[in-house]
Amino acid sequence: MAPQPDLLADPGLTHLRAAGVSLVLDLSEARLPRVVHWGADLGALDPAGLAALRLAARPQPIGFSVDGPVDVAVLPEQSAGWLGTPGLIGNRGGADFSTAFRVTGASLGPGEGAAGEGPAEGRGGRLTVHAHDPAAALELELTIELTPQGLVRQRAALTNAGDTPFAVDAVHLTLPVPPDATDLLDFTGHHLRERSPQRTPFTHGLRMRENRTGRTGYDAAYLLAAGTAGFGNRSGRVWAVHTAWSGNHRTFAERTFHSVSLLGSGELLLSGEVLLDPGASYRTPWQYGSFGTGLDEVSARFHRHLRARPHHPSGPRPVVVNTWEAVYFDHDLTRLRGLADAAAAVGAERFVLDDGWFGSRRNDRRGLGDWYVSDEVWPDGLGPLTDHVTGLGMQFGIWVEPEMINPDSDLARAHPDWIMATGDRLPGPARSQQVLDLARPEAYRYILERLDDLLTTYPVSYLKWDHNRDLVEAGHQPAGRAGVHDQTLAVYRLMDELRARHPHVEIESCSSGGGRVDLEILQRTDRVWVSDCIDALERQRIQRWTNTLIPLELMGTHIGAGLAHTTDRRHPVDFRAGTALFGHFGIEWDLTRAEPADIERLTRWVALYKELRGLLHSGVSVHADHADPAVEVSGVVAEDGTDAVFAVVATATSELYPPGPVRLPGLRPELTYHVRPLPPGDVPEGNATRWGVPLPWWTPEGVRLPGLALAEAGLQAPVLFPERLILLRATAG
């Protein structure tokens, strides 16, 4: 149907449905939209049914701050009686601190990725709402969408319609959850231990997670989930929000004694950062909400949404070899050619030259900003290396860190005013770095010109885009006005312009490892570097929780040397490679010094990745709710359920011996599956094998069982030494 220009003539109720989710919005009485229901699909409801639903949800007007019930809109207002976290915090010279927006128009149309001219039942849609507060002289546009994958996403645009400036301190958007969502899950972490989960009760009051690092952050909430008691990977009802923003942001859960429970988020604006002149606008980041039974369904909605984007990586994800942990700053042409030869021999398809190729950059204390190929290290330019790499049939990639600058650089000496600072002092250095102010037009033009020249001169198909420090006292010289907001938008513009000029070039988001992982940076990058820690045991947890938001093909997962660079822990090839398999597989290891037996095993794992990547990068990620904390079971099941691969991982010693059966989630219950060990992940290194006591079904023939039996009864896994894994393949028929 064609878009509806005005919804105010009807009872003001809009019902969007998609992928098993219903979103019911109430715009009655020209007030900002309130969510009547967000959760499981309610089926087809006619106007009378929707009105009855709204009536049934109305509370008794007892104990509120004003007479009558307090309706909390997606942008909560104190004028409605809400005394929790405000949707808009701002003022005009100390006045207009509280708004009372009235809806002036609303239209319903297709959402992003939806076919046809208008929303259809079961396909979602986009509601655009215009509102005005004449007293505060502010205009508001709200966009609320239910995607075809069942994700809710919303954003707000605030415009100053007055004659004087309006200071914006915060704009928060919220989504309600029911009272039986009593558990909260969010994330914390640090460098080398990103996205570490933590659970807390959802009690009365405000749980606010703020990130002030100027990037998405190691310890940001990442995803804030509220669910029924004890919710798991496959069980319990779960509601989750994510803020798609790569700068400062806040995410919160708020519960009041009025039976109101909200998940909310928005950009965290520093004092004075956004001052709207007359006619100017501020637009919030997108807020995403996902509902499902268990975390796997919540994640699957995000993954399907990302995969539906027209620019999502669609071809086979190439096997990457990165030079960093192999050579560090030792850029020697002969050595790098030898590494490229060894990489090609094991089946690598992309060779990435890391830090140290430019200016005076022989260590991490100088040279950042001088984006010219070093005459000292590369007297003939990069051509001799790029020719060798491409001659071996591999793509060539290169490391850059465009947003940072070393004070010991030609650029800093020539333009000290291009460094972000507050007043007359520089922020404290971090890794001997400061931040280059890309909101300055001349600094932006310089970086764009240098990167454009690099991509034009050499056959670069991949940029590892790094960002290695927090933004501390990040102001614009000379006045020192806070600049994280402007810097974030400038980085987006820079990436967008480079992608427009060089559409064939992929970009990886790296930020001291996994410090910039969010859905907005992924609008302009093709994968994220999950962590600088590639110790396989640590990566088991880091990768699992990164996968909560993004699919495997966007996760950089590398196998390192036997001795982990960041933990000094040793693991065999199979555990390292089997861990890296579940992502965008790569190698960060000096293969010229590897033992022949390790090279042989690695070559087999590379071949397996190439065989499985079509499944891994299009299927549904699944994680079992296994009772034994020493055993993890996860895998990928094809969308049609006919093929699957699972990993059974022993992260520690179990209190059970043998550890008992494992269940395989996500299979179609009515299909019969042939389950068997998958080489080279079929070597169960454990005491039972060493003592010659075989697991009866652990043979190339395996077993055949219905998906229902595999999900409910499971099957025995081999006894494994700690920090080992095995692979299973399950195919229908």
What is the chain's alpha carbon radius of gyration, rounded to the nearest angstrom? 27
The tokens describing 287, both together, are 């807020």
Q: Provide the H-helix boundaries in 74-216.
A: none
| Cβ–Cβ under 8 Å, residues 635 and 645 | yes
- Out of 532, 535, 574, 643, the active site residue is 532
3-state secondary structure of 370: coil
d(CA 269, CA 411): 29
Instruction: Collect all residues with Cβ–Cβ distance below 8 Å to 335 and sequence separation of at least 6.
Output: 327, 592
Crossing angle of the two packed helices 333-346 and 383-391, in degrees rounded to 10: 20
| Cβ–Cβ under 8 Å, residues 681 and 727 | yes
d(CA 91, CA 83): 17
> Which candidate, 463, 40, 488, 19, places its Cα nearest to that of 243?
488
- Out of 183, 186, 370, 466, the active site residue is 466
Is 355 tagged catalytic?
no
Q: Are strands 555-560 and 584-588 parallel, antiparallel or unpaired?
A: parallel
| Cβ–Cβ under 8 Å, residues 670 and 708 | yes
| Cβ–Cβ under 8 Å, residues 90 and 169 | yes
Where does residue 30 fall: left (phi above 0), alpha (psi -120 to 50 degrees), or beta otherwise? left
**What values do phi and psi take at 239, rounded to 5?**
-120, 135
The tokens describing 111, both together, are 């959402």
d(CA 241, CA 185): 11
| Cβ–Cβ under 8 Å, residues 589 and 561 | yes
Name residue 394's beta-bridge partners. Answer: none
3-state secondary structure of 250: strand
Structure letter (DSSP) for residue 592 = G
CA dihedral angle for residue 288, residue 293, residue 296, residue 300, rounded to 10 degrees = -50
Is 67 tagged catalytic?
no
**DSSP letter string over 87-108?**
SEEEEBTTB--S---EEEEEEE
Active site residues: 466, 532
